Amino acid sequence: MRRDFQVLTILAPTVVVFAISVGCESTPPPPVAGAPVGVVTLEFNSDGTSTSVQVPGVADGATLESVMRSVDQIAIELSGSGTTAFVQSIGNTKMEADKGWTFKVDGEFANQGIGQTVLHPPTTVQWTYGEFQM
């Protein structure tokens, strides 16, 4: 009985740390009600053409996924949600095996997907269609 207690005492903190770390890698929490809002500018560049869309009223802390889903000025097809959210197409330009859409937030390449990229308006997201770089 005492040995079982010792094992539980050792394992319990490990389980808690694991649960917390798994939770930290999931989708960010929703923006806080009453958070400041601003404009997110989405720029889409493909085959030498450029289109820009202004999305007003975006709360500080919103994800890029939520902003992309709110756009109705241009057709945007997403698959998945949260950590698995992925852009399939923007306008008439669809992802291919070796080409797709990549993005920068305020000039910096993101190091995570759209479902985990948190925005702090005013901000600009530049989408570029092209060959994937390895």
- Report domain extents, the chain: 37-131
**Between residues 12 and 34, the one the model is more confident about:** 34
Tell me whether strands 93-94 and 86-90 are parallel, antiparallel or unpaired: antiparallel
With H, G, I as helix, E, B as strand and everything else as coil, classify residue 101: strand
Considering only the top CATH level, what class is 37-131?
A: mainly beta
CA nearest neighbour of 114 among 89, 90, 82, 91: 82
Confidence (pTM): 0.74
The band of 35, judged by pLDDT with boundaries at 50, 70 and 90, is confident
What is the pLDDT at residue 30? 56
Q: Is the pLDDT of residue 38 over 60?
A: yes
Q: Cα torsion at 26, 30, 32, 38 (round to 10°)? A: 120
